[in-house]
A and B are shown apart, each in its own frame.
Chain A
Amino acid sequence: MSDGEAVIEARALVKRFGDFEAVKGVDFRIERGESFGFLGPNGAGKSSTMRMIGCVSPASGGDLRIFGLDPTAHGSRIRARMGVVPQQDNLDSELTVLENLVVYGRYFDIPRSECKARAAELLDFVQLTDRANSRVEPLSGGMKRRVTIARSLINRPELLLLDEPTTGLDPQARHILWDRLYRLKQQGVTLVLTTHYMDEAEQLCDRLVVMDGGRIVAEGSPRQLIERHSSREVLELRFAAGTNADQTTVLAGLGDRQEVLPDRVLIYAVDGEEVLGEVHRRGVPHESALVRRSSLEDVFLRLTGRSLVE
């Protein structure tokens, strides 16, 4: 691994809730300026990990350093230098957008006038200047998310934690957010985010870990992960309902590897078109066929045997 300055370092990090182990000993190291992702399905332990990094949840075991500091002893000092976008927005619906930002800035002891100046700047950044004086309540989900992101930046954080920043948003709202996050990354902010969208991880993350059941099952850049755990292309075949499983014999030997999903069969290969040609030659009747590049979704499927988003 490279030898840049570590912003976050975790060794054998564990989180237990009673008898249940939500995070089962994970190791990772995140460097300054990096954009790092935790990719995994619901219940993988992403939020639990993020909350430990955010110094609002004590680790049950292992070692965690943020900015080289120990969260149990220096939680307040660490939190002063980072911004947090929690999985659930916790904006104050009774306050206006601007008031939400100013009040939050005051928690960091930023003078009121400075809070207002920064809030105006940030609302411009998330394209919500015209909503500054409207209450939060009637805003759309995407707008609330942007307000939360603006709020998380009020203390000019070096490190920004985003827990599922775009879950539940429509495609347009997601693209606006991705664009803003990309700009932050260019400004040198270290981004740490969780997601269960592979396209989000591919768009935003320099490096990511795949989490499943409280464990890290793979680590690398999106491209490395695909190269390591999947083939270059995938042929997706759909058959008449309920006949997927019957196709194994006719498809035998095709591609490097096959996955039979409830709604389709995936055939992994270096060259998808070539496999499709062979499918035609064998005269296998199918309803549709699609050749595409391998994605993180395929990596996840390979590593865990399950789809990322059910």
Chain B
Amino acid sequence: MTTLPAVRVWEYYATILRRTWKTEVVLGLLQPLVFLLGMGLGVGSLVNSRQSSVDALGGVPYVSFLAPGLLATTAMIVGAFESTYPVMAGFKWQGFFEAMAATRLSPMQIVRGMFLWLATRIGIFVAGVGVVLALFPDTRSWGLLLAVPVAVLCGLSFATVIASYAAVCQYDASFNYVQRFIITPLFLFGGAFYPIESLPVALRPIAWITPLWHGVELCRGFSLHTMGFTTALGHFAVIVAYIVVGIAICRRLFIRRLYR
């Protein structure tokens, strides 16, 4: 019986998670709950009291508009974080990539295994958000069943790019740039909290060319049942393109770093 190499790399990470999963599950549920209550109740009461705002959101309560975006932003934040320090640990602090490279695993198998793990990691947190959203009538939807896996792909698209960056970084201070110049701006300008049509035209391309907005649109479209097939396909294509190209680049950079 042989097991897929990527799965065997994944097992390494899973062995570590076996120790810490309980706290992670609690965190994964608590965070979205707090966020949803805070934003939904606080900002929601402001937004819902203005008819023009409600119209701009497509006639749904603010919390229904916001909630699906939370799937995508959570995926982005987890995907980005997990592909910074934990990836550098594999090169520098723990050296597990170096250990893997000395075995019969190939670079591509190591990279695939890492992304399989990152997808799992993102999936755990996104599923947590999904569970929280299913608790409330305003955010509950069958569309969540599609939105959750799509959000995972959205998070993975960030992971492939940022893990590639981590593979060339020598010092963890470099990760501050990721937070400041990618994650925080996208969190704010990626369409999660308001339709990007509310942004000045000059700022909208930020949303178009990065994967978050496409993920937000897909999650929202599925949850609110407002997405056409071709539009969905377009958004999906952008995310998949990021993943495919990202993995190819990541493989090259891993080879450069590990097989000096």
**A111 closest partner in B (C-beta):** B1
Are B15 and A54 in contact, CB atoms less than 8 angstroms apart?
no
Q: What 1/0 flags go to B1-24 for Cβ under 8 Å of A?
A: 111010011011001100100000
Are B11 and A104 in contact, CB atoms less than 8 angstroms apart?
no
Chain A interface extent, by class: 20 to 34
B258 at the interface (CB under 8 A from A): yes
Q: What 1/0 flags go to A159-182 for Cβ under 8 Å of B?
A: 000000000000000000000000
Are B105 and A95 in contact, CB atoms less than 8 angstroms apart?
no
Contacting residue for B104 out of A57, A76, A94, CB 8 A:
A76
Are B259 and A79 in contact, CB atoms less than 8 angstroms apart?
no
| Total A-B pairs, Cβ < 8 A | 69
CA distance A225 to B62 in the complex (A): 83
Are A108 and B95 in contact, CB atoms less than 8 angstroms apart?
no
**Chain A residues at the B interface, C-beta cutoff of 8 Å:** 17, 51, 54, 56-58, 75-77, 79-80, 84, 86, 88, 90-95, 99, 102-104, 106-109, 111, 155
- What are 29 A-B pairs with beta-carbon distances under 8 A? A17-B260, A51-B260, A54-B102, A56-B101, A56-B259, A57-B260, A76-B105, A79-B103, A79-B104, A90-B94, A90-B98, A92-B12, A92-B99, A93-B94, A94-B19, A94-B94, A95-B15, A95-B16, A102-B15, A103-B12, A106-B8, A107-B8, A107-B103, A107-B104, A107-B105, A108-B103, A109-B5, A111-B1, A155-B103
Given A57-B260, A103-B11, CB of A86 within 8 Å of CB of B103: no
Are B102 and A58 in contact, CB atoms less than 8 angstroms apart?
no
B179 at the interface (CB under 8 A from A): no
CA distance A58 to B233 in the complex (A): 42
The prevalent SS among residues of A at the interface is: loop
CA distance A91 to B99 in the complex (A): 8
Q: Which B1-54 residues have a C-beta within 8 angstroms of A?
A: 1-3, 5, 8-9, 11-12, 15-16, 19
**B94 closest partner in A (C-beta):** A92
Other than A92-B12, A104-B103, A109-B8, give 12 A-B pairs with Cβ distance below 8 A. Answer: A54-B102, A76-B104, A76-B105, A79-B103, A86-B102, A92-B16, A92-B99, A106-B3, A106-B8, A107-B103, A107-B104, A111-B1
Chain B interface extent, by class: 20 to 34
Q: Which B67-116 residues have a C-beta within 8 angstroms of A?
A: 94-96, 98-106
Interface centre among A56, A57, A92, A93 (most CB of B within 10 A): A92
Minimum Cβ distance to chain B for residue A170 (Å) = 24
CA distance A76 to B109 in the complex (A): 11
